[in-house]
Structure 1
Amino acid sequence: MLMWADDTAEAPAGSGPARTRSYRLPGLHVEEFSIPVPLDHFGDRPGSLEVFARVVGAPGSTKPFLLYLQGGPGVEAFRTTADSPPWLARALEDYRVVMLDQRGTGRSTPIGIVDGAVTGVPNALRTPPRSDAEADALAAHLTHYRADAIVEDAELVRQALGTRTWSVLGQSFGGFCTLRYLNSHPGSVAQAFFTGGLPAVGRTSAEQPTLTEVYERTWETMARKSRDFHRRFPQSRERLLALAERSAQGLELPDGSHAGPAHVRLLGHLLGASGGPERLHYLLDLDVDSASFRADFAAAQPYSARNPLYAVLHESCWANGVTSYWAAESAMPGEVREDPSLLAGEHVAQEIFRTGGLRAWEGVAHTLAAHDWPVLWEPSRLAAAEVPAAAIVYFDDAYVPREYSLATAELLPDVRVWVTNEYEHNGLRASGSAVLDRLIRMVRDEV
């Protein structure tokens, strides 16, 4: 049992001993630990991995825990400092914050390709797939890296911390995980906070929006944001058209890979965050044949070999008992397809697995796109989750359409919803402490 256990705690469910390390940062005390968890929480596929977390608090703090679930999928939690993330100081007024690296990321048995081998997988899967059978085998392993497994990992972390309940803060995909938490383990959650992270569920299975419908809404939003960007920066459209034409021949990047038109279109993900339009403007202002442009272009890509799960599993994070099968491409409107200056957000294109740094994952991505995914959220279970919750829904969210978020919120019996156009999808971080402070006060009925 870890040092945080109290005499009301339940014993860890076979999680085994945790490895711990503690240290101090200015004004903070940090405890790190990792625990072994099963690969397959729901079946009999053999294997295990380690899940890593940091507990951040003031020295000597005994405040309740707040689990932070990062956006993604496939992205690790923040590496904290006294002023990062910007909302941390507000959170520490009321909680000790648990920064969980979701399985396959950060220090939680990370998935990737390093020195010609796939990391974080059994030895039999370490060779990057070169055949359909090898791709299918690796894809089968990666089917265990969705929100349902992340929540089961979190439950073992909670038990290792010796607390019966904790609060959960879910940003974007982290909100999808938080909703799964309310679906499966509502008794473990004292409070739930959603920031741009209420997925499309629908009141009944018949009313559940299709993935194509979800992506149609996001394409509409991105087309509008693209046009707003071109009005604000009049030369941007011509630059993007020229860049798309140039990339059709292959735009070499610093790592030796080549970007194609889909990579140019994906620069639009910058438009979904505060300060993003300015970043895109200054990127397009650079000489396309300069080293600075090529490096900054590569760094601006949302999907890369650093966190391959972000691309490989992205569409599956929406898949509630269905296949995803390249839904974003299927939903792309004709006007967008014909105009490269109308940009994408988090729209995964098959092309990014044929060029660029994700080429080795192409077969895996195709197999996962055809996978029949289990149900993540059931309306009847959510309607029975009597957990105090608060959610911010961004009016013009580029990634999570507000209409579907509001419909999902109606399923939760004790949620307070704040709809605003003051922030973009990154409002939790961009607002400093403002968004989290308001959500905390909302869940306490102070707002």
Structure 2
Amino acid sequence: MPALDLLEHRLEVPLVHAALSSEAAHDGRTLTVFAREVRRRGDGADRPALLFLQGGPGGESPRPGVLPANPPWLARALEDFRVILLDQRGTGLSTPVGAPPVGRSAVELAQDLTHYRADAIVEDAELLREHLGVEQWSLLGQSFGGFCSLSYLSAHPERVAEAFIAGGLPPVAMPVDEIYAATYEQMAVLSHRHYRDYPGDRDRLLAALDLCDAGELTLPGGEPLTAQTLRSIGGQLGTTGGSEALHYLLERDPRSPAFRYGVASLLPFDGASPLYTLVHEACYADGGVTGWSSDRVPPTAFAEDRSLLLGEHPGRWVFAERTDLRPWAKTAELLAAHDWPRLYDAEVLARTHTPCSAAIYVDDPFVLEAHSRATAQLLPGMRTWVTNEWLHNGLRLSGGVVLDRLISLVRDR
């Protein structure tokens, strides 16, 4: 990793962008958006800009470091670019979404949170681009950041020089129920694969679930560990190395502090980043009402076989069982009933010849291979790398390997 120069950028952006809503004319509230620019010392200032769009929703951008290299792909990126690490609205040093503000009703909070999807993040990024004096920039989208990248290509394709997408080429115009049903099916595949590799883990998990039902297990703060919450650690199966991590947790005594704290570290939904849970379904929704899709569409096998683990499935139960998310329950109900606008314009995408590349992970349970392949067909400038070498965290875990492959696909076409 070379020596780095870091520059901080802060700007005020409207909560409601005029390009997205007529509410903007009546709502003058603003948010702070923060971004950190990372340059290679000595010769980095003149390099073209690469905007990194973080996974999530609700995830802050990585904090750059040299030893160890963070993010691990940064050194490869700095060979070609200066990197703009954006804290998307509601995260990091941008105006955060934390605990529900005192004095705001659930209706008011839900209305505000309708402005925290990919389309609003793209409009924030456009103001940041103008602030930096950049005519065009490249995009690197990880997971949900890929959703943002596709929204960018729909709304402002002329501002994107090239786009690199890792594990995040979302379905376009697909009903949200169809999306979540497919994620359950893939989680079942990965659960069975895990038990094939670690045959004793099924019985270990079932025994722990029985202890949950008996009220004998808790999380570190004393909150009851329910069976549904324990099953939600299955998201680990969607990451390279996650199956092993899950096995090493399940081999511990479920009554032990090590198990208790280990489970807490793997849970996907908590009050530290409520945005992730609150707008997760909405960020998959390319129009329409989500209506607690992940509660409504699980295959019957998930009720019949409790050893099938859950991935990113934030239903009503999360707001009932997790004490730090309970204050958001009424707001979540309103968001689930909201009629969301479209995020992507297939006609614009079909006319967009921006050079793009995407890593599509064969076994990804969060952004399905089949869905990503279908979306790739919409983009004339898209080249794909379909691989089973990595799972959803391939960009980070591979160091610069995945990013280098994505850059090569675009440059060597």
Same fold, judged at TM 0.5 (above): yes
Indicate the SS of the match to 1:403.
Answer: helix
Instruction: Determine if the alignment matches structure 1 residue 404 to structure 2 residue 371.
Output: yes
Match of 2:178 in 1: 213
Q: Which of residues 179, 184, 209 in structure 2 aligns to 1:244?
A: 209
Instruction: Determine if the alignment matches structure 1 residue 163 to structure 2 residue 130.
Output: no
CA deviations on 1:276-307 (whole Å, 9 max, x unpaired) are 01111111122222222211211110111110
Match of 2:194 in 1: 229
* Between 377-386 and 249-258, the greater mean CA deviation after superposition: 249-258
In the alignment, the residues of structure 2 paired with residue 445 and residue 190 of structure 1 have an alpha-carbon distance, to the nearest angstrom, of 15
Mapped contact 1:67–1:169 kept (Cα < 8 A): yes
Distance change in 2, residues 1:128/1:76 (3 Å): farther
Indicate the SS of the match to 1:106.
Answer: coil
In the alignment, the residues of structure 2 paired with residue 148 and residue 392 of structure 1 have an alpha-carbon distance, to the nearest angstrom, of 22
Written as runs of structure 1 = structure 2, the 5 A alignment for 1:268-307 is 268-307=234-273
Written as runs of structure 1 = structure 2, the 5 A alignment for 1:253-272 is 253-272=219-238
Indicate the SS of the match to 1:54.
Answer: strand
**Unmatched runs of 5 consecutive residues or more in structure 1:** 1-24, 119-125, 202-207
Mapped contact 1:260–1:351 kept (Cα < 8 A): no
Match of 1:105 in 2: 91
In the alignment, the residues of structure 1 paired with residue 214 and residue 98 of structure 2 have an alpha-carbon distance, to the nearest angstrom, of 28
CA deviations on 1:407-434 (whole Å, 9 max, x unpaired) are 1111111111111111111111121111
In the alignment, the residues of structure 2 paired with residue 36 and residue 64 of structure 1 have an alpha-carbon distance, to the nearest angstrom, of 24
Q: Which of residues 31, 46, 55 in structure 2 aligns to 1:49?
A: 31
CA drift at 1:46: 3.1
Q: Which of residues 38, 42, 49 in structure 1 aligns to 2:14?
A: 38
In the alignment, the residues of structure 2 paired with residue 329 and residue 241 of structure 1 have an alpha-carbon distance, to the nearest angstrom, of 22
CA deviations on 1:121-143 (whole Å, 9 max, x unpaired) are xxxxx2287xxxx2222111111
CA drift at 1:358: 1.3
In the alignment, the residues of structure 1 paired with residue 131 and residue 357 of structure 2 have an alpha-carbon distance, to the nearest angstrom, of 27
Distance change in 2, residues 1:309/1:249 (3 Å): farther
Mapped contact 2:312–2:366 kept (Cα < 8 A): yes
In the alignment, the residues of structure 2 paired with residue 360 and residue 256 of structure 1 have an alpha-carbon distance, to the nearest angstrom, of 18
Distance change in 2, residues 1:292/1:167 (3 Å): same
TM-score after normalising by structure 1: 0.87
Written as runs of structure 1 = structure 2, the 5 A alignment for 1:41-190 is 41=17, 42=20, 43-44=23-24, 45-60=27-42, 61=44, 62-82=46-66, 83-113=69-99, 118=100, 126-127=101-102, 134-190=105-161
Match of 1:28 in 2: 4
Indicate the SS of the match to 2:309.
Answer: coil
CA drift at 1:170: 0.4
Give RMSD over aligned pairs.
1.4
CA deviations on 1:38-78 (whole Å, 9 max, x unpaired) are 00003323311100000011124110110000111001000
Indicate the SS of the match to 1:112.
Answer: coil
* Between 427-436 and 87-96, the greater mean CA deviation after superposition: 427-436
Indicate the SS of the match to 1:29.
Answer: strand
In the alignment, the residues of structure 2 paired with residue 235 and residue 54 of structure 1 have an alpha-carbon distance, to the nearest angstrom, of 46
In the alignment, the residues of structure 2 paired with residue 158 and residue 245 of structure 1 have an alpha-carbon distance, to the nearest angstrom, of 53
Mapped contact 1:70–1:171 kept (Cα < 8 A): yes
Instruction: Determine if the alignment matches structure 1 residue 332 to structure 2 residue 298.
Output: yes
Distance change in 2, residues 1:355/1:160 (3 Å): same
Mapped contact 1:262–1:349 kept (Cα < 8 A): no
CA deviations on 1:92-124 (whole Å, 9 max, x unpaired) are 0000010000000011111112xxxx3xxxxxx
Match of 2:287 in 1: 321
In the alignment, the residues of structure 2 paired with residue 52 and residue 291 of structure 1 have an alpha-carbon distance, to the nearest angstrom, of 38
TM-score after normalising by structure 2: 0.94
Q: Which of residues 392, 395, 408 in structure 1 aligns to 2:362?
A: 395
Indicate the SS of the match to 1:443.
Answer: helix
Letter in 2 for 1:56: V
Distance change in 2, residues 1:395/1:355 (3 Å): same
Letter in 2 for 1:218: T
Indicate the SS of the match to 1:259.
Answer: coil
Mapped contact 1:193–1:389 kept (Cα < 8 A): yes
Instruction: Determine if the alignment matches structure 1 residue 371 to structure 2 residue 338.
Output: yes
Letter in 2 for 1:268: G
In the alignment, the residues of structure 2 paired with residue 256 and residue 33 of structure 1 have an alpha-carbon distance, to the nearest angstrom, of 41
CA deviations on 1:246-294 (whole Å, 9 max, x unpaired) are 2235542223333322211111000000110111111112222222221
Match of 2:274 in 1: 308
Q: Which of residues 304, 310, 318 in structure 2 aligns to 1:344?
A: 310
Written as runs of structure 1 = structure 2, the 5 A alignment for 1:411-422 is 411-422=378-389
Indicate the SS of the match to 1:109.
Answer: coil
Mapped contact 2:311–2:365 kept (Cα < 8 A): yes
Mapped contact 1:249–1:260 kept (Cα < 8 A): no
